[in-house]
Amino acid sequence: MNYNNDLTEVLDEYLLPLKGIEEVLSRVGKDAKVLVETPLGFKNVGLEAVRYLSNKGYRAHLSGQNVWGACDFSVLSDYQYIIHLGHALPSNIFRIISKNLRVRRGGSGDIITIEIEGGPIVLFSAIYYKPRPELLNRVREIVDDFVKPGTDVLVTYALPYKLYAYKIAETLGLSVAPSPITGCFIPFPIRGTVLFVGSGYFYPLTFKLLKPQATVYLLDVFRGSVENVDQVYRRYLALKVKALQGFSNARLVGIVVSRKPGQYRPELVELLINRLRGLGKEFVVIDLNEVSPDYINNLPVDVVVNTACPRIGIDDLDRFAKPVINAGDALKVNTLDLSNLLVW
C-alpha cells in the first residue's frame, strides 16, 4: 500500500489526515469551536491535533473523556465540530445513530462526517500507526510457526493498524480484509483462519464471538508475538455462563439504558419488560450513560440486563460484582444459548 501526502506524521509514531480535517473545518471558518476526542491511549495524539488546529487559528479544545468506539461520541451543541479520532464507523452503529438523531452522512476514506440537525458536525477521523521497518522485519519469522503454507488466511485489522496490516499481507503474500473491523461488527465473511494485526484481545475475539469454529491468531507487532486467542475466548465463555445462570436465579432485574448516540436502544425496553414478566421477574428501568462497574456494582438489583454495547456483557464480566447480561441474551428462547453472543 502506498502512502500519500494527505497523511501527516505526528509524534514519530502516527499518521493523521490533518489536512483533510482542516479542509472540512475551513468550510465554516476559524471562528468555529472544535472539540477533539480520542480513546484513552491516544490522548497524546489528540493533544497534537489540538496544537495543530490552534496554530491554524481554530478554537480547539481537547476532551478529557474517554471514548470507547464510534457509538460513543459527544453531541455538545456549544461546539460546531467534534473531531472523533481513532474509530471506524460501521454500518450497524450508523443505523442506530440515524434512529436517534437526524443526521446526514458525508466524506469518505480517512474522514467520515455526520452532520447532526441542531447539533455539531462530527468528523470520524482515522489514526494510523506508522509502520516501523524493524518491527515489520520480524513478522515473517514470527508468523511462519503459526500460519502454514497453503492455508487460506485473511489478514484483518482494527482501523489504527490498517497500514501495518497492508504491509504484513504484502510481506507474507496473504490477502487483506477490505475494511477494518470493530468490536461489534465484521463487514466481510469470516474465513476459517484469521490473522488479526493489532494488540489486545478485544478485536480478535470479535471473530470468535461471531464464528466460534474459526481459528484466530493475534499478531501483536509491538510485542513481537503471535498467539491463538482460543483459550481467552473459552475463559470469557465460562464467565458468560456464570452470568447467565445468575440471571436465571435473579428476582429483581435492572434494565440499563445508555444515552450514547450509537448505543441508545429504547425499542428494546418494551421487549425486555414483556420477557421479564413472562419469566415472573420484577424489574426496574435504569437510565445510565456509562455502563461501568463504578455504577453497576452499586445498583440495588440482583442482575443487570444491558441494552448498550454488547461487549459490556462479555469482556467486563470479571469486573462486575453482580451478574450482567446483554439484551440479546435475555430475549433468546433459551437464555443459555451461546450462539451469536453479539446479537443486540
| pLDDT single digits (tens) 291-316 | 888 899 999 999 999 999 999 999 98
Q: Which residue type sits at 141? A: E
Phi, psi of 98 (to 5 degrees): -65, -30
Clarify whether residues 114 and 137 are in a common domain: no
Clarify whether residues 101 and 159 are in a common domain: no
CA angle 254, 255, 261 (to 5 degrees): 140
Strands (DSSP E) found in 59-148: 59-62, 81-85, 103-108, 111-116, 121-125, 128-129
Clarify whether residues 192 and 301 are in a common domain: no
Residue 311 lies in a domain: yes
Q: Are 158 and 126 in contact (CB under 8 A)?
A: no
Clarify whether residues 267 and 284 are in a common domain: yes
pLDDT value, residue 115: 96
> Cell 508475538 identifies what position?
225
Residue 322 lies in a domain: yes
Clarify whether residues 182 and 290 are in a common domain: no
Residues 6+ apart with CB under 8 A from 99: none
The domain spanning residue 51 has which CATH number? 3.40.50.11840
Clarify whether residues 85 and 159 are in a common domain: no
Task: Give 184 or 137, the one with higher predicted confidence.
Answer: 184
Of the pLDDT bands very low, low, confident and very high (cuts 50, 70, 90), residue 150 is low
Q: Centre a 10 Å sphere on the Cβ of residue 96 and count the other Cβ atoms it contains.
A: 17
Summary count for the chain: helices (H), strands (E): 12, 18
Report d(CA 294, CA 247) in Å as an integer: 20
The domain spanning residue 212 has which CATH number? 3.40.50.11850
Report d(CA 98, CA 113) in Å as an integer: 13
Q: Are 218 and 197 in contact (CB under 8 A)?
A: no
pLDDT value, residue 280: 97
Domain boundary among 199, 228, 257: 228
Domain boundary among 166, 201, 228: 228
Clarify whether residues 33 and 125 are in a common domain: yes
Report d(CA 165, CA 154) in Å as an integer: 10
> Could you give the C-alpha distances from 159 to 84, 90, 175, 257, 265, in angstroms and in order?
13, 11, 17, 28, 25
Res. 1: pLDDT tops 50? no
DSSP symbols for 183-203: SS---SPPPSEEEEEESSSTT
Its pTM stands at: 0.92
Of the pLDDT bands very low, low, confident and very high (cuts 50, 70, 90), residue 2 is very low
Domain boundary among 228, 257, 289: 228
Residue 337 lies in a domain: no
Least confident of 140-149, 157-166, 328-337: 140-149
Report which DSSP code applies to 253.
E
Clarify whether residues 200 and 251 are in a common domain: no
The residue segments making up the domain with residue 44 are 8-129
Q: Are 220 and 179 in contact (CB under 8 A)?
A: no
Of the pLDDT bands very low, low, confident and very high (cuts 50, 70, 90), residue 246 is very high
